[in-house]
Amino acid sequence: MTTNLTTSKADKIDRLAELTARRETASGGSLWVEALRRLRSSKMALIGGGVMAVFIVLAVIGPWIAPHDPTAQLWRDEVRVNQSIFVGPRGDNWLGLDHLGRDQLSRMLVGARQTLLVGVVATLLGFVVGVLIGGLSGAALAFGGKAGRRVDTVLMRVIDMALALPSLLLAVSIAAVLGQSLTTVMIAVGVVQIPIFARLLRGSMLAQASADYVLAARALGVRRRRIVLGHVLPNSLGPVIVQTTLALATAIIEAAALSYLGLGNPDAAQPEWGVMLAQAQRFFDQAPMMAVYPALGIIITALGFTLLGEAMREALDPKLRS
């Protein structure tokens, strides 16, 4: 009886010691690890990531699994636009035909790749140039003294000018100079993203630069270059990475709008959802489904990227951490 009691007490004491010790290690864990953990448990991130994965797989294998040649007008004589005769879904063509008698499903599958390409290239352009400008501006303002402040002022004036124009209009003016092509759409949509990335990184860097650890590093005589590249920049990238995901969604939608305005890729051999949607609008009242397929493709994909971006934003938000 007494032995029993003492062993159970010893257990309890062990547990007590364990509890006291564990406290030391349980807290801690870096911001990114924590964010990743929160991201994994987020339903929004799961759906967004799922949609994104499906989209990327389709973009990669689309051309191989397409049942027909997406550019050949195989059923040209079955479609009569001026008599309002369109062909809907049927055994051979699961999503029906477009206005030129081409297989819609094949065009959708092949188009996924072009759509992804436009989004990725445009976002990459915006990201790289935006991060360069924003990083330079932020570093100059925070660590460059008087001259740095001047550099920042000039850069930000330019960025603010670009922000004063509606993005669509900016894209249209760029497209006007470059002419009508897929590259034009990529550049136009990408340029529109530059000021957003730049502003975001600059703001985030300024917030980091006033943090105590930067002050401490400066007091210790760490070189400015090292502080910026080793500490401030890596710690400021969170919101920029979130923006990248959201920008992919915007890029796909903006590209569709440019196509609608007749500035998209004129090459019929390269089906792209934005161009497909723009072309289908003309027949919207007779054959709405022709527009609905590419529209759904764009909406679902953009939604996937947006959900993932929002989930990432939430995961990284220190206010929501508890």
- Pick left, alpha or beta for residue 166 (phi over 0 → left; psi -120 to 50 → alpha; otherwise beta): beta
- Pick left, alpha or beta for residue 201 (phi over 0 → left; psi -120 to 50 → alpha; otherwise beta): alpha
DSSP assignment letter at 75: T
Q: Is 158 an interacting residue with respect to another protein (CB under 8 A)? A: yes
Q: Which helix (H) or strand (E) holds 276?
A: helix 273-281
For helices 182-209 and 145-164, give the axis angle rounded to 10 degrees: 140
Q: Is 281 an interacting residue with respect to another protein (CB under 8 A)? A: yes
Q: Is 84 an interacting residue with respect to another protein (CB under 8 A)? A: no
Please give the Cα distance from 242 to 248 (Å, whole number). Answer: 10
Q: Is 19 an interacting residue with respect to another protein (CB under 8 A)? A: yes
Smaller CB separation from another protein, 75 or 271 = 271
Interface residues for another protein in 167-196 (CB under 8 A)? 167-169, 172-173, 176-177, 179
Q: Which listed residue (46, 206, 235, 310) binds another protein by CB under 8 A? A: 310
Q: Is 137 an interacting residue with respect to another protein (CB under 8 A)? A: no
Interface residues for another protein in 249-268 (CB under 8 A)? 249, 253, 256-257, 260-263
Phi then psi for residue 283, to 5 deg, are -110, 20
Q: Is 302 an interacting residue with respect to another protein (CB under 8 A)? A: yes
Q: Closest separation between CB of residue 175 and another protein, Å?
A: 9
**The two three-digit tokens of residue 67, written as one number:** 């049942």
Smaller CB separation from another protein, 158 or 237 = 158
Q: Is 303 an interacting residue with respect to another protein (CB under 8 A)? A: yes
Q: Is 37 an interacting residue with respect to another protein (CB under 8 A)? A: no
Smaller CB separation from another protein, 103 or 254 = 254
- Residue 113 near residue 56, CB atoms below 8 Å: no
DSSP assignment letter at 231: I
- Residue 137 near residue 202, CB atoms below 8 Å: yes
- Residue 248 near residue 121, CB atoms below 8 Å: no
Check the CA dihedral 304-305-310-314 and report its sign.
positive
Q: Closest separation between CB of residue 106 and another protein, Å?
A: 22
The window from 80-88, 165-173, 195-203, 222-230 that contacts another protein (CB under 8 A) reads 165-173
Q: Is 12 an interacting residue with respect to another protein (CB under 8 A)? A: yes
Residues of this chain that bind another protein (CB under 8 A): 9, 12-13, 16, 19-20, 23, 157-158, 160-161, 164-169, 172-173, 176-177, 179, 249, 253, 256-257, 260-263, 277, 281, 284-285, 288, 291, 295, 298-299, 302-303, 306-307, 310
